[in-house]
Chains A and B, each alone.
Chain A
Amino acid sequence: QVQLRESGPGLLKPSQTLSLTCTVSGVSVSGGGYYWSWVRQHPGKGLEWIGFIYFGGRTYYKPSLKGRLTISVDTSKNQFSLKLTSVTAADTAMYYCARGNFMEGQYTLYYGMDVWGQGTTVTVSS
């Protein structure tokens, strides 16, 4: 059974760096056909796609977070991570990691994010 679990600090001060880890079990992060995503949800709001990484290192980020955001994979620990620098109160949210499925060809086909972590709450406050 594939499971994802987020971990990281629940509370940060403005200007600090947020580091979250998603530990994956039941499947290898280096397995083909998967991409590894982060999605966040501000309190009482909808879902916001942050970015994802393919095994091999290709990354896609939400443009408004570019420059502050890094997503990486650690195959030795079967984890992937999110690093967000210079956080502000606007980064206060529930952060979810998720596994996405895809198939490359002439056109990449995305088969949805079918496994999600339980989410981790991040609060940015002085």
Chain B
Amino acid sequence: DIVMTQSPLSLPVTPGEPASISCRSSQSLLLTNGYNYLDWYLQKPGQSPQLLFYLGSHRASGVPDRFSGSGSGTDFTLKISRVEADDVGFYYCMQTLQTPFTFGPGTTVEIK
């Protein structure tokens, strides 16, 4: 199985400031078609997960453009240019290169 790791696991943030989450995979998620098989999800407290990005950097419908997904191969980053209070929750990366799909352990984002 592909092992996903995230850092940090806990991220206190200040509204208006930027924030960044790192996700790494145990093997490259870049396929010869040029796509990175990585998704990002946000699970707000008490809610179901919601899709933020697919194929590494493709923003899902309705996701504000202050969120960005980048990276390639084994190293990926989710960035929030200016954190808002509504962004608190648990952020997960997930690889879709091969089954079983595997999630990272999650990063808890909370307001300082």
Contacts and interface: CB of A to CB of B under 8 A. Distances in A.
To the question of whether A and B form a pair in one complex, the answer is yes
A49 B48 contact: no
A101 B39 CA distance: 12
Interface in A20-49: 39, 46-49
Contacts of B54: 101, 110-112
A67 interface: no
Contact of A116 (B50, B92, B94): B50
Contact of B41 (A47, A48, A106, A111): A47
Contacts of B102: 49
Contacts of B90: 46
Contacts, number: 67
B31 A47 contact: no
Contact of B105 (A46, A62, A116): A46
Contacts of A51: 100
A112 B93 CA distance: 11
Nearest to B58: A111
A118 B58 contact: no
Chain A residues touching B, range: 20 to 34
Contacts of B100: 49, 51, 60-63
A46 B104 CA distance: 8
B92 A46 contact: yes
Given A46-B90, A49-B101, A110 B48 contact: no
Given A46-B103, A49-B101, A117 B48 contact: yes
A89 B109 CA distance: 30
A107 B33 contact: yes
Nearest to A50: B100
Contacts of A109: 33, 35, 55
Contacts of A61: 99-100
Contacts of B43: 47
Interface of A: 39, 46-49, 51, 60-63, 96, 98, 101, 106-107, 109-114, 116-119
